[in-house]
Amino acid sequence: MKIAFIGLGNMGAPMATNLIKAGFEVHVFDLVEEALKALEAEGATVGRSALEITDGADVVVSMLPAGRHVRGLYLGTDSLGTDSEPGLFSRLSSGPLIIDASTISPDDARVVGAAATEHGLRYLDAPVSGGIGGAQAGTLTFIVGGVAEDFESARPVLEAMGKNIFHAGSVGSGQVAKICNNMLLGILMSGTAEALALGVRNGMDPAVLSEIMKQSSGGNWALNVYNPWPGVMEGSAASRDYRGGFLTDLMIKDLGLAWQLALESGAPVPMGSEARNLFMQHSAQGNGKLDFSSIQWFYRAGMES
């Protein structure tokens, strides 16, 4: 099976590498030359354009930063109101299954999905959870929206990159579920940081307090496996000065998608909005490129005492 992989960034590069390891014939394209060279060294065939690698492919996987990149690639740059470079959908002579693993708005996914159908192509939105570590280990969670039959066709490809593969519903549902999950994660991480700072400010050892809350009703993923207080958990981003991991600015992007979705659907999200405000203020203080658990520093008065 020939797979075309577009977007070899922090996530895409290890995902494409895992497809090669699983024995697929992988052809890659990215705008960055170094990214192409790195994947060539892993055994990929490098193309000079997205069209060159996708035409004739059985499956196309894209892993791009945001909705405008996905629309630009598939629908053409005229969909962005810039110039009139035609998109892939109108130029493909074959009919690959398209799997977009980028995190984008459900609306963008539905627009791209509808255009794919118009061109006789099958399209799945398949955002992931699990971060760069999960991408490297091949243990990502895929949350997929699209037709059940297409989901089953994609399964062997997704299983080469992930461990938990969910069918969320129709096109766009993968993005809705992913956005809900990450909004909850943002709320849980900021709440965990707030509780730890309150306890430490009142004389608690952060490790002792963490252990008590883990075994009590405050236990949650952010506290249990991603503790934001430095030194409490070996191997955590907090214990390596918040370097690497899931960036504050990416959490802001996802909380922005949640906010947009809430606005469009009239859903109240006061906690999600508050979390977005907190992470935005934190980023404005120069912490956008640190792991999102560095929100602990927002409560630095507690950390310094």
For residue 256, the number of C-alpha atoms closer than 13 Å in the C-beta half-sphere is 12
Catalytic-residue membership of 2: no
Of 115-123, 126-134, 187-195, 271-279, the segment contacting ligand NAD by CB under 6 A is: 126-134
Contact 221, 265 (CB under 8 A): no
Q: Within 14-33, which residues bind ligand NAD (CB under 6 A)?
A: 29-32
Position 35 contacts ligand NAD (CB under 6 A):
yes
CA separation for the pair 227, 275 (Å, rounded): 17
Q: How far is the CB of 217 from ligand NAD (least distance, A)?
A: 29
Q: How many Cα neighbours within 13 Å face the side chain of 165?
A: 18
Q: Which amino acid is at 61?
A: V
CB of 31 to ligand NAD, least distance (A): 4
Site track 92-111 with ligand NAD (rule: CB under 6 A), x = hit: ----------xx--------
Which amino acid belongs to residue 13?
A
If binding is defined by CB under 6 A, does position 53 make contact with ligand NAD? no
- Among residues 2, 178, 214, 289, which one is catalytic? 178
Determine, following the binding rule CB under 6 A, whether residue 7 of this chain makes contact with ligand NAD.
yes
**Six-digit token string for 81:** 């109101």
Q: Are the CB atoms for 20 and 75 separated by under 8 Å?
A: no
Among 3, 4, 11, 61, binds ligand NAD (CB under 6 A): 11
Query: Left if phi > 0, otherwise alpha if psi is -120 to 50, otherwise beta: which for 295?
Result: alpha
179 lines the binding site for ligand NAD (CB under 6 A): no
Q: 124 - beta bridge partners? A: 99
Which residue numbers are catalytic?
Answer: 178
Site residues, ligand NAD (CB under 6 A): 6-12, 29-32, 35, 50, 63-65, 69, 72-73, 102-103, 128, 131-132, 246, 250, 253
